[in-house]
Structure 1
Amino acid sequence: MRLVHRTLALVAAATATVLGLTATPAAAATIETGHLDVLDVDYTAGALTLDIRSYSPANDDLSPAGTTLRLRSTSAIAVPSGSAWNCLGAAGATVYVAPQAENPNLIWPGWNTEDVPAAQGPVRMELVGVSSVPAGGRFALYTTNSFGTPTFRLNSNSAAGCPISVWPGNIGAGGHAHGNWAFSALGTYTLSFRATANGGAGVASPTVNYTVQVG
């Protein structure tokens, strides 16, 4: 069972529903395991928003503010050899990865545009910044194909040819997928994202900060 401490927030949300008020996304203290759409893009009444969608114990939207995503140190892997992996780190170096395939002992983060109408797509996803990082800390989001070859979607690595601040090709509306969320050092990271409809030409979400604790 996923570790989610959000009792007070859920009570507040339930109370707001009973009173007929508009409930805001609940806030969880820490999440260590389970299925999460970390970049959950919603389009409602002409506004684009970013939050976290959880699936257990119920389908729920969580506010990134006050929510910490913890990636356990057991997620450590060694960077594979080969030039395709250069932007993840030096071959053999340790990185901590929340994997593309579900591991019940780790968070399983993805992205979700199911609530974005086709007319508002595709979604431009931007990594606005990575701050409050440990020494040597870098973040990368990449997918792998059936041959294990990586495609980097976002990357804070400053090495030549590595930085990616805008998701190449954008994210199609009405989709839901997972990738590998990689961190180069133990510690706490603040990741800042912004989503924009119509491939960057439409309405934009506010910049939203996410906290990830590695280790």
Structure 2
Amino acid sequence: MLRSTWHRSVLALVSVFALAIAAVMPAANAAPRHTFDTGHIDAFNVQANNGELILNLKEDVTGSHVTHAPEDVVLTVKEAAFNDAIPSSIPRSPSGYLLPMTQDPNLIWPGWDTMGVQSGPAGFSQIDIAFTKVAGPGDIHLFSSSMLGVSSLLKDGGYQLKTGSVIDQKYPAHTHAN
């Protein structure tokens, strides 16, 4: 939807999203070059360059703001993230793997960064991150939690991240979630 030169909405298609839980499975054609089980990860790092969107993964594990092709990375959720006392207000309670909203140095801290989409006169003020394929063992739930409760970060208001899910990023932001 084009509203003006300065206000555009774009659909950024995420081709592949793989989340390995407790084990790393090699890809059919080539093994990923990097496996991360700790540290700050912007799994979806979206930038604009001359009016085109670029999607990569950005991490602060091997350096500062190091980018990779998403297909070259496996994110592993350690057994330490397993929690058998998840409150009933949180999806998948009472037990499951729960990644915190704030950084835990022993776990991955995944999120996304769309701050780079606003660059230059051909920048974007709003994007959607659409998941064209979600695969991996188990279900993946995405939400934000605070003292006020749990809230959905998905366009449909749900919590399960699945093929067809959309994150409606109404403005450029750097976001982390459970």
- TM-score range relative to shorter protein: 0.5 to 0.7
Name the counterpart of 1:165: 165
Instruction: Calculate the TM-score normalised by the size of structure 1.
Output: 0.57
The residue identity in structure 1 corresponding to 2:173 is: G
Task: Give me the whole-angstrom Cα distance separating, in 2, the residues matched to 1:30 and 1:157.
Answer: 21
Q: Does 1:151 align with 2:151?
A: yes
2: distance between equivalents of 1:121 and 1:130?
26
Alignment of structure 1 residues 110-189 onto 2, 5 Å:
110-117=111-118, 119-131=123-135, 133-134=136-137, 137-147=138-148, 149-154=149-154, 155-156=159-160, 165-167=165-167, 170-180=168-178
Computed over aligned residues only, the root mean square deviation of the Cα atoms, in angstroms, reads 2.4
Q: Which residue of 2 aligns with 1:65?
A: 71
Pick the structure with more helix per residue: 1
**1:157 Cα deviation from its structure 2 partner:** 6.9
Name the stretch that deviates more: 116-125 or 62-71: 116-125
The answer to whether the Cα contact below 8 Å between 1:39 and 1:111 also exists between their aligned partners in 2 is yes
Relative to its length, the structure with more strand (as a share) is 2
Task: Give the 4+ runs in structure 1 shifted more than 4 A.
Answer: none
The higher relative CO (CA closer than 8 Å, separation ≥ 6) is in 2
Q: Which structure would you say has the larger Rg?
A: 1
Identity %: 26
Deviation for aligned residue 1:130: 2.0
Change (3 A) 1:165 1:157: closer
Structure 2 portions without partners, runs of 5+: 1-31
Task: Report the number of matched residues.
Answer: 138
Q: 1 CA distance for matches of 2:147 and 2:160?
A: 25
Distance 2:56 2:161 in 1: 25
* 2:80 paired residue number: 74
